[in-house]
Amino acid sequence: MNKFPLLILGSIALSANGQQHMPDKPNIIFILSDDVGYGDLSCYGAKAVQTPSIDNLASKGIRFTHAYACSSTCTPSRYGLLTGQYPWRRNDTGIARGDAPMIISPDQKTVASVLKDAGYETGVVGKWHLGLGEGGFNNQAWNDSITPGPKQIGFDYSFIMAATGDRVPCVFVENQRVARLNPKDPIQVSYTTPFEGEPTGKANPELLKLHPSHGHDQAIVNGISRIGFMKGGKSALWVDENIADTITTKAVNFIERNRNHPFFLYFCTQDIHVPRVPHPRFRGKTTMGARGDAIVEFDWSVGRITETLKRLGLDKNTLIIVSSDNGPVVDDGYKDEAREKLGNHTPWGPLRGGKYSAFEAGTRVPFILSWPGNARKGTSEAMVSQIDLMATLCGLVGQPVPPGSAPDSYNQLEVWLGKSSKNRSCIIEQSTGTLSLVDGIFKYIQPSNGPKTDDFTHTELGNDPEPQLYNLRDDQDEKNNLARQHPEMVKKLSDQLTKSKSNP
């Protein structure tokens, strides 16, 4: 039953005989920001920061108000997005170290490999965070060809950061080789042992331009201490201030190279993850310090992508999605004044929780789809999930979902294009401590003995030893636990969750 009505403005292109035209191989760009919250964009109500390029896509396309990432942290969220399998079905999809082996096996089908099979040129640019190489931790050939990597799971081209901006190695990896590496200065990486003679954030705080607030006190690169130790690779080290420029240029180059051929680009920005060090030209663009300025930088990246499409005449034939991998966090480990300068801004919008949390702001994220002439314009309240990317894009390009793959992914094309307002049958959200299931207006959070609040980030995690049941329509900030009043609903949803766990 549809509990969230669809609000549609405008219409889709119809031909003279009233039939809708849908090109069979549009270009596809999925732009995934990092840690951008439900309330962080001006088209989702933010006032203290303006995001005109993203708002422009929203005004030409469809903006979802009930869209979910697969998990409230990055690695599992991205695993689900690319494979169509819920990350909690495996026990090795937690936040990956920079020396973790690749989590997605080359035998698995991914969004990239199915689109490649459908004749697309495929590329990934930006944050990867799904592990690289094989044979356990710390087993990557950083000074040679690193395999398996994006190519083995369907990406023809890759220009990636192995993990996160705050984890070593702080280098870009292009087509599975460290970019700009001088062979005379090889890279070494360790997540267990410091390298003798190398300064660390802990021992040498005087070398830092950005200090950690928690953790992040190991290798120092560009005056910022990170998680993990590294040595060497001086010519290859990234400069945080230039990351957005570098990866956006690589994304633009990929589009230019493939202007005459259908392409799929998975563009994952470092913004607005920590360390937040936007280019000086964005500094002071908001009153919120680095976190607000990083949102402006992210919007700039989106603008460069859309300008490129326009310049190349590809804007009409390209489907773009802009979303985020998980909810927002204010202080995620560096003293960047995000908390002090937040003012009245609410990164989580009207929702409760944030990154890491089982409450809605952990996984309910911005999600905008634009495909001029083919997707409707307006706002949709239909429940959608990033887990459906694989089956939906297969539906779009007429490629069958390969048997045995993407078990949790459903073709939601009609909903994603705004032609239907039907909710997904249910959505399972993963937090750092538990699982939740949303079905229509009701949300059930499975009991958990985990901490109620994360000590470092001060996020309410949503863990409770008692079952929780919320009515998201009347109580979207999850303040009123109805579990005792509605034991029958708790049982129904908890049985549904148990069934989904054993039977995708």
What is the longest distance spanned by two Cα atoms in the chain?
74
Q: Which region among 235-243, 325-333, 414-422, 472-480 touches ligand NG6 (by CB under 6 A)?
A: 325-333
- Least Å distance, CB 212 to ligand NG6, is 8
Nearer to Ca ion (CB atom), residue 70 or residue 74: 74
Q: Is residue 333 part of the contact set for ligand NG6 (CB under 6 A)? A: yes
- Residue 257, interface with ligand NG6 (CB under 6 A)? no
35 is an interface residue for ligand NG6 by CB under 6 A:
yes
Question: Alpha-carbon distance 68 to 238, whole Å?
Answer: 31
332 binds Ca ion (CB under 5 A): no
286 binds ligand NG6 (CB under 6 A): no
DSSP H stretches of helix in 90-165: 111-117
Distance separating alpha carbons of residues 319 and 30, to the nearest angstrom: 8
35 touches Ca ion (CB under 5 A):
yes
Question: Which of 256, 224, 259, 215 is closest to 243 using CA atoms?
Answer: 224
Selection from Ca ion, ligand NG6, none that 237 binds (CB < 5 to 8 A by kind) is: none
Token digits of residue 361: 């702001």
Among 129, 352, 364, 377, binds ligand NG6 (CB under 6 A): 129
Give the range of 212-220, 300-308, 436-444, 482-490 binding ligand NG6 by CB under 6 A.
212-220
Residue 140's binding partner among Ca ion, ligand NG6, none (Cβ under 5 to 8 angstroms by kind) is none
Q: Binding to ligand NG6 by residue 227, rule CB under 6 A?
A: yes
3-state per-residue secondary structure call for 255-311 = HHHCCCCCEEEEEECCCCCCCCCCCHHHCCCCCCCHHHHHHHHHHHHHHHHHHHHHH
130 binds Ca ion (CB under 5 A): no
Name the one range near ligand NG6 by CB under 6 A: 3-11, 111-119, 214-222, 250-258: 214-222
Task: Select from 21, 202, 209, 214 the one that contacts ligand NG6 (CB under 6 A).
Answer: 214
Is 273 a binder of ligand NG6 (CB under 6 A)?
A: yes
Sole residue written with tokens 């799971």: 153
Name the one residue in this structure whose structure tokens are 């890491």.
356
Q: Would you give the distance in Å from CA 39 to the centre of its chain?
A: 15
The CA distance from 235 to 225, in Å, is 18
| Cβ-Cβ contacts under 8 Å for 98 (sequence gap 6 or more) | 162, 163, 164, 167, 168, 169, 189, 191, 227, 228
The binder of ligand NG6 chosen from 8, 48, 95, 312 (CB under 6 A): 95
User: With CB cut-offs between 5 and 8 Å by kind, which of ligand NG6, Ca ion, none does residue 32 bind?
Assistant: none
Q: What angle do CA 120, 57, 280 make, to 5 degrees?
A: 95
Q: What's the min distance (Å) between Cβ of 161 and ligand NG6? A: 11
Taking CB under 5 A as the criterion, the residue among 51, 72, 122, 326 binding Ca ion is: 326
Helix, strand, coil % (nearest 5) of the chain?
25, 20, 55
Q: How far is the CB of 390 from ligand NG6 (least distance, A)?
A: 21
User: For residue 500, which of 433, 447, 430, 422 has the smallest C-alpha distance?
Assistant: 430
- Under the rule (CB under 6 A), what is the footprint of ligand NG6? 34-35, 73-74, 95, 129, 164, 166, 214-216, 227, 273-274, 326, 332-333, 456
